[in-house]
């Protein structure tokens, strides 16, 4: 190279060096000159700037994405804005019910009495009732959920009406669920989502035996139609547990008809029926008990010491008492026949009125327990108060006393004749068939007054009565004698051994009607069940009443279900 050329290159180099600083990336580091050089930490590596083509590619990608979003927004808001705005206005979200299923009701043997049936046309399952007669008042009926013309449920639950459907409604009902539903302007469902699942109601097993109830009901109906009774009741109670095996009331109604509400003619007939098919006679029917109270009055006389079991009283067919309001005259209190000399056992068996007049109100040298004692022992066995059965409409009944008379009669003075009539279950004495059955159960089981229950396998604690076992044994013997040779002989001769007591109560201004009773317990040797049957309001003089119903029913029971009296 010539000297001129070399000088020119050197001058150009020094000019370039002097014109700018040397950047770090222009320096090539030699790794060998660096102490502790760590290549993994990029020491000694030259960082390079991002290539322009990469930046351009990213910019294009963002532009495309932005264009897509802008195009979609334009399509929704400009091109089809009015269409989607109208659809948004028409569509709406609503909370929709998911109905729970109501609990099933079974009898003590597992037979369904009330169940549910799903219909495609309804949002909830419809209630279905057994066609077994004799259990309607126990079961009750329901009203369905109701909605208005726009489909809104203004009543979103089943409403239990009467019977177990009403009184155990919270147990049977369960809890409805909820879902969110999108509905268009035509009412069509576009989408739905469950928010809360429904909780179905709990099932209930009753103490009632449906088959026994139906058979007893059939025999009550048969006797009513043949003899002109307008109604009837049949109760069977376990004397150890308080479980009710039957609680039959005639006439009754069809729960299915009332629940469905479509058969207006039948429903109207229920409302106009003078016999009162909606009245549960077993717990709400108040009846003059007549001679069925005599076993309880015998307990009082024995416990108060006015008689001994061997004490005999002469019944000549009537009792004549001097009238203190008319000198030289007497008031006559009749027996239904002359029984001669009777002790307490036989007095129960033949149902001697005179005997109980004297031990109740006293006569000459025979002391009585008086109206206070009559009320004491009536209340001891649960009369005059509700039993507490879980059904609505139960009545407490009436035990006549001086205060009651003052409230109900213009001439409120209590007289000896009032005591006489009260002690034989007449005058203003009123009881329910369930009360009577419960009282008889206490005599049968040795003195425990149980709280009746409709739930299977429940055990009632009840209360222990202040009555001696010996007294109750004597009374049971009197009731056994009544079946063997006394007023309850109609049920003698069956395979089942009974203790029993009958009663007849006159009705009407001229005593032109009567009620017929029979009550008792079985088997006599080891009592397990108490029962009461009443046939209501037949023409005076009708003889084939409640005892005949009992005979026919217990004849069937002894053949069809011996376990009830054999204790199997």
CATH of the domain at 350: 3.40.710.10
Distance in angstroms (rounded) separating the CA atoms of residues 365 and 354 = 14
8 A C-beta contact, residue 463 and residue 449: yes
Are 490 and 552 found together in one domain? yes
Report H helices in 424-543.
433-444, 469-485
- Three-state DSSP class for residue 181: strand
Are 133 and 272 found together in one domain? no
Q: Which residues pair with 431 in a beta bridge?
A: 287
293, containing H or E segment: none
Is 47 inside a domain boundary? no
Q: Which residues contact 212 (CB under 8 A, 6 or more apart)?
A: 236, 245, 246, 557, 561, 564
Task: Report helix angle 353-361 to 294-303, nearest 10.
Answer: 40
The answer to whether the peptide bond before residue 251 is cis (omega within 30 degrees of 0) is yes
Is 30 inside a domain boundary? no
Last residue of a domain, one of 72, 90, 108: 90
Last residue of a domain, one of 179, 205, 231: 205
Tell me the pairing of strands 204-205 and 105-106.
parallel
Q: So what's the pLDDT on residue 24?
A: 53
Is 7 inside a domain boundary? no
Range of the domain at 145: 94-205
Among 169, 209, 214, smallest CA distance to 390 is for 169
Are 80 and 118 found together in one domain? no
φ/ψ of residue 115, rounded to 5: -145, -175
Are 243 and 367 found together in one domain? yes
Distance in angstroms (rounded) separating the CA atoms of residues 460 and 500 = 24
Q: Which residues pair with 504 in a beta bridge?
A: 516
Are 187 and 295 found together in one domain? no
Number of domains the chain is built from? 3
Q: Residue-wise pLDDT tens for the chain (568 aa)? A: 555 555 555 455 455 555 455 555 555 545 555 555 555 555 555 556 666 776 677 667 667 676 666 666 665 565 555 655 555 555 556 667 889 999 999 999 999 999 999 988 788 999 999 999 999 999 999 999 998 887 788 899 999 999 999 999 999 999 999 888 776 766 676 677 777 899 999 999 999 999 999 999 999 999 999 999 999 999 999 999 999 999 999 999 999 999 999 999 999 999 999 999 999 999 999 999 999 999 999 999 999 999 999 999 999 999 999 888 888 899 999 999 999 999 999 999 999 999 999 999 999 999 999 999 999 999 999 999 999 999 999 999 999 999 999 999 998 999 999 999 999 999 999 999 999 999 999 999 999 999 999 999 987 778 999 999 999 999 999 999 999 999 999 999 999 999 999 999 988 888 899 999 999 999 999 999 999 999 999 999 888 899 999 999 999 999 999 999 876 5
Are 116 and 76 found together in one domain? no
256, containing H or E segment: helix 255-260
Are 100 and 76 found together in one domain? no
Are 469 and 389 found together in one domain? yes
Quote the distance between the C-alpha of residue 315 and its chain's center.
Answer: 48
Is 325 inside a domain boundary? yes
User: Whose structure tokens read 């009565």?
Assistant: 465
Q: Which residues contact 190 (CB under 8 A, 6 or more apart)?
A: 91, 182, 183, 184
The C-alpha R_g of the chain, in whole angstroms, comes to 45
Are 293 and 438 found together in one domain? yes
Is 139 inside a domain boundary? yes
Last residue of a domain, one of 205, 220, 242: 205
Is 284 inside a domain boundary? yes
Q: So what's the pLDDT on residue 65?
A: 75
Q: So what's the pLDDT on residue 180?
A: 82
Q: Which residues contact 207 (CB under 8 A, 6 or more apart)?
A: 108, 238, 243, 244, 245, 453, 454, 455, 456, 457, 458
- Three-state DSSP class for residue 271: helix
Q: Per the structure block, which two tokens stand in for 461?
A: 């604690």
Q: Which residues pair with 449 in a beta bridge?
A: 463
Q: So what's the pLDDT on residue 266?
A: 97
Are 201 and 221 found together in one domain? no
Provide the CATH number for the domain around residue 145: 3.90.1310.10
Is 192 inside a domain boundary? yes
């Amino acid at each position: 190279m010539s000297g001129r050329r070399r000088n020119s290159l050197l001058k150009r180099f020094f000019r370039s060096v002097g014109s700018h600083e040397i950047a770090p990336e222009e320096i090539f580091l030699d790794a060998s000159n660096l102490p502790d050089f760590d290549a993994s930490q990029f020491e000694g590596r030259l960082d390079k700037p991002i290539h322009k083509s990469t930046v351009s590619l990213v910019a294009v990608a963002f532009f495309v994405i932005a264009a897509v979003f802008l195009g979609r927004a334009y399509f929704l808001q400009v091109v089809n804005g009015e269409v989607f705005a109208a659809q948004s206005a028409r569509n709406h979200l609503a909370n929709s019910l998911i109905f729970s299923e109501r609990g099933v009701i079974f009898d003590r043997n597992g037979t369904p009495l009330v169940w549910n049936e799903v219909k495609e046309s309804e949002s909830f399952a419809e209630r279905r009732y057994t066609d077994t007669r004799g259990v309607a008042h126990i079961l009750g009926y329901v009203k369905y959920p109701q909605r208005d013309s726009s489909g809104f449920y203004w009543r979103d639950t089943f409403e239990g009406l009467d019977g177990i459907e009403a009184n155990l409604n919270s147990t049977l009902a369960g809890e409805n669920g909820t879902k969110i539903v999108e509905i268009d302007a035509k009412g069509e469902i576009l989408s739905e989502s469950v928010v809360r699942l429904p909780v179905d109601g709990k099932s209930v097993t009753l103490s009632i035996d449906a088959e026994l109830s139906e058979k007893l009901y059939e025999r009550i109906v048969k006797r009513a139609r043949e003899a002109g009774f307008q109604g009837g009741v049949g109760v069977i109670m376990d004397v150890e547990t308080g479980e009710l095996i039957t609680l039959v009331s005639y006439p009754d109604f069809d729960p299915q008809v009332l629940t469905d509400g479509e058969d207006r003619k039948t429903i109207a007939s229920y409302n106009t029926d003078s016999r009162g098919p909606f009245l549960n006679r077993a717990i709400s029917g108040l009846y003059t008990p007549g001679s069925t109270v005599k076993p309880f009055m015998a307990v009082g006389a024995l416990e108060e010491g006015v008689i001994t079991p061997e004490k005999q009283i002469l019944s000549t067919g009537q009792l004549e008492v001097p009238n203190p309001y008319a000198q030289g005259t007497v008031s006559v209190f009749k027996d239904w026949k002359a029984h001669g000399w009777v002790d307490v056992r036989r007095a129960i068996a033949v149902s001697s009125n005179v005997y109980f007049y004297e031990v109740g109100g006293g006569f000459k040298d025979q002391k009585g327990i008086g109206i206070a004692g009559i009320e004491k022992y009536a209340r001891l066995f649960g009369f005059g108060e509700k039993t507490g059965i879980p059904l609505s409409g139960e009545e407490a009944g009436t035990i006549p006393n001086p205060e009651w008379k003052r409230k109900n009669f213009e001439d409120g003075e209590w007289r000896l004749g009032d005591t006489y009539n009260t002690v034989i279950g007449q005058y203003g004495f009123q009881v329910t068939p369930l009360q009577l059955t419960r009282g008889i159960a206490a005599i049968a089981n040795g003195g425990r007054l149980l709280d009746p229950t409709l739930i299977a396998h429940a055990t009632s604690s009840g209360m222990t009565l202040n009555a001696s076992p010996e007294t109750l044994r004597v009374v049971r013997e009197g009731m056994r004698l009544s079946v063997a040779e006394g007023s309850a002989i109609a049920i003698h001769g069956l395979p089942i051994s009974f203790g029993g007591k009958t009663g007849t109560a006159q009705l009407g201004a001229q005593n032109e009607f009567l009620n017929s009773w029979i009550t008792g317990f079985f088997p006599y040797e080891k009592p397990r069940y108490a029962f009461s049957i009443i046939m209501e309001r037949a023409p005076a003089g009708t003889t084939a009443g409640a005892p005949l119903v009992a005979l026919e029913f217990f004849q069937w029971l002894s053949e069809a279900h011996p376990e009830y009296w054999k204790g199997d």
